Amino acid sequence: MSDDIKKQLGAVIDSYKEDLCQMADEIFDLAEISGEEYRTSDILCSYLEKEGFKVERGTGLETAFRATWDNGSDGPVIGILVEYDALEKIGHACGHHLQGPAGIGAAIAVKNCLRIIHAGLLCMELRQRKLLAVR
């Protein structure tokens, strides 16, 4: 990847920094555990919809989603996996509150030149949930 493209991608992400940081803070404060991330999922989905992504909610699990943006070309497909559940009694000790906003920033940065599939899936700790959401 050329340095110019890297700089362009970085500039786009920087322009969204305030929104993405605010989103991460809000998700951190919610600290919804696996399978109960209703408000967190809604925050992520609503933002993606606002940015022009087609969002399918409840993809295998109530709080899972898939968001796509298609530029109409035959270019590569990129999948971005995010986790947004908190740990019971400890909250976001694993940094999952950062993954959704970071994934959204990455998807927005490249959406003008690639076809993007941004998949929001659940809980690293419960592998069977991740397998269900991928199907």
Pick from 103, 17, 25: which is nearest to 65 by CA?
103
- Whether the pLDDT of residue 105 is over 80: the answer is yes
Contacts of 49 by beta carbon, 8 Å cutoff, 6+ apart: 55, 67
Mean pLDDT of the chain: 83
Q: For the whole model, what pTM was predicted?
A: 0.84
> Does 77 or 98 have the greater pLDDT score?
98
At residue 111, the pLDDT reads 83
Q: Is the pLDDT of residue 89 over 50?
A: yes
- What per-residue confidence (pLDDT) applies to 112? 63
Say if residue 109 is exposed, middle or buried (CB neighbours under 10 Å; 0-12, 13-18, 19+): buried
pLDDT tier at 55 (50, 70, 90 boundaries)?
very high
Say if residue 20's pLDDT is above 50.
yes
